[in-house]
Chains A and B, each alone.
Chain A
Amino acid sequence: MAYQIVYHHRLAYDVNDEGITLPVIIAANGLTETVTAAIDTGSTLCVFQREVAESLGVTVEDGIEDYVSAMGTIIRVYGHEATLTVGDLALDLFVYFPDYQNIPRNLIGRQGFLQRLRFGLDDYEGIVYLSHHDDP
């Protein structure tokens, strides 16, 4: 049996990069920053670098405390309301920032983002397909 899925947005990424990395605009605290973030289906939360929060003037520790597990280590993170724009798509959600600097990359996880979208991947061609979850 064949299945067909319709996507309304298409984004190219660099297949030579270690992750599926896309340009993202993050808006919070009335400011915006343009950064890169890797799609991570294994990550429950959207976790961004502390440096991004600092450039947005967000006080990290004032957010909602949570914990994420990565490679056997537990990281304390703080959630803040933000808007992420990827291509023509935007979502209001909680983005989490760690309590220390130097995590190597921003991660777009499931809660608030992938769970709201229909997500397709052609890793051979380096193409991500996206649609709202309730698009026809």
Chain B
Amino acid sequence: MSTKNDIAKENAESIDKLLSSEEPLTLIGGEQAEEKVILPESLKPLLKQILAEVKKGNEVAVLATDAEMTTQEAADYLKVSRAYLVKAIDRGEIPSRLVGNHRRVKVKEVLLYEQSLNEKKRGRVVTPPVKMRDMSKDMKWLSEHRGEYAGKWVAIYEDRLIVAADTAAEAHEAKERAGFPQTLVTYIEKPLPQGTRRKG
């Protein structure tokens, strides 16, 4: 169920105040306003959250956490490609079940995955998977030869140029053939015309 609604600011503030109060909330309906239901306290935080989103102009959808989604719906919600989502399912990161030939995922599993994705995006300090060799000679070589190889992809090992190529693919091929560990492959930028400065 989803809604896109504009609530006048003053109206939203009154509702917000009401939701923050200690008093129980009562839903009044029917033509004569005769039907009354006292809403459970547990609904207040949810209503507050919905209101906050509506106030921001966002569309709000309410889904049961046990409801199921297709892989396309889940991918759309997570703003990832369907291929990316299917790979996450294949890696066991999102439990799924088969309905015929199609996979279904539970909303709550998608929400959990979203949380872990956001944590991953924030980054995590880890033990280096490889020890980086001393690259000072490579960087010195770059500094000294930048002008000669501007506009080229170069592969360097310490103070040795392995290849200067027009494409990254050529540089990588030469790097693989040379077989040195941690060969540096980089593009050397062309200098800008005199009097201009690079930004961004």
Contacts and interface: CB of A to CB of B under 8 A. Distances in A.
Contacts of A18: 189, 198
A121 interface: no
B18 to A, nearest CB: 38
The SS class assigned to the B binding surface is: mixed
Contacts of A6: none
Interface residues of B, number: 42
B182 A93 contact: no
B124 interface: yes
Interface in B160-178: 167-169, 172
Nearest to A103: B187
B45 to A, nearest CB: 29
Interface in B87-127: 87, 117, 120-127
Contact of A42 (B136, B146, B186, B200): B200
Output the residue of A62, A88, A91 with the most chain B CB within 10 A: A62
A101 to B, nearest CB: 8
Contacts of B120: 81, 92-94
A118 B43 CA distance: 42
Interface string A27-43: 10000111110000010
B75 to A, nearest CB: 10
Contacts, number: 129
Contacts of A49: 168, 187
A25 B128 CA distance: 10
A92 B126 contact: yes
A49 B169 CA distance: 13
A88 B128 contact: yes
Given A14-B139, A94-B121, A105 B184 contact: no
A65 B200 contact: no
Interface of A: 12-14, 16-18, 23, 25, 27, 32-36, 42, 49, 51-52, 54-55, 59, 61-65, 70-71, 79, 81, 83, 85-94, 101, 104-105, 111-113, 115-116, 132
7 contacts: A16-B143, A23-B139, A34-B132, A51-B169, A55-B169, A88-B132, A93-B120
Closest 3 CB pairs of A and B: A112-B123, A51-B168, A90-B128
